Copies of this chain bind each other. A is one copy, B any other.
Amino acid sequence: MSEPELLPILGQQPRERSDAARNRDALMYAAQTLVARCGADAVTMDAVAEAAGVGKGTVFRRFGSRAGLMAGLLDASEAAWQAEVISGPPPLGPGAPPRERLLAFGRSRLVSTLERAELVQAASGAQTRSYAAYSFTATHVRYLLGELGVRGDIALLATALLAPLEIPILHQQIDIEQMDVERILAGWEDLVERVIGLRA
């Protein structure tokens, strides 16, 4: 009856069991494959479970919901993009002036969002997401606005710049109002000019 922990180590997880880790990887791989082959909308949770060779309960234990699974795929697929922003070549990465970085960010974000549109939509509603993905972009834009010396509520201005790049808005503009992507991009850059225009 010895005391297991004299000092409570805060936040220490009991370490993931090996079978759990193996199944998680198998599920991610299976899901990624199926999404690539059939499109996200056509992939069922049963199919993922079977392709990964695990029970259905295991899928939900690991990812919580369908949206959670898709968010997992999305996060994995966005890691590369985030690396570009953090440490890639300018003007997207560090090195360029903040205004150029911000414009490059918008362009790149727009394109990558549209590329992963299906996944983004399928992942919407997951509690975990969109926090990981969203909070990265929000933090980055806030930082750039700060560098630009923009006055005002930086967090809200960042949101104002990011909101028009979200999937529901883009879908409305492109698929329903038949707008050109180039036009949307030009409009976003105009918006940036207006938002940072009143600086210092």
Q: Point out residues on A near B: beta carbons under 8 Å.
A: 124, 130-131, 134, 152-153, 155-157, 159-160, 163-164, 166, 168-169, 172-173, 176-177, 179, 183-184, 186-188, 190-191, 193-195, 197-198
Contact = CB atoms under 8 A, between A and B. Distances in A.
A157 B193 CA distance: 12
Contacts of A168: 124, 166, 168
B176 A131 contact: yes
A109 to B, nearest CB: 14
A163 to B, nearest CB: 4
**Residues of A contacting B: mostly:** helix
Given A168-B166, A168-B168, A198-B197, A159 B176 contact: no
Nearest to A152: B190
A155 to B, nearest CB: 8
A163 B169 contact: yes
Contacts of A187: 152-153, 156-157, 159-160
With most chain B CB atoms within 10 A of its CB, the pick from A163, A197, A198 is: A163
B134 A191 contact: no
Contacts of A197: 194, 197-198
Contacts of A186: 153
A172 B125 CA distance: 11
With most chain B CB atoms within 10 A of its CB, the pick from A156, A173, A187, A190 is: A156
A154 to B, nearest CB: 10
With most chain B CB atoms within 10 A of its CB, the pick from A160, A176, A188 is: A160
Contacts of A160: 160, 163-164, 187-188, 191
A79 to B, nearest CB: 21
Nearest to A191: B160
Nearest to A177: B155
A140 to B, nearest CB: 16
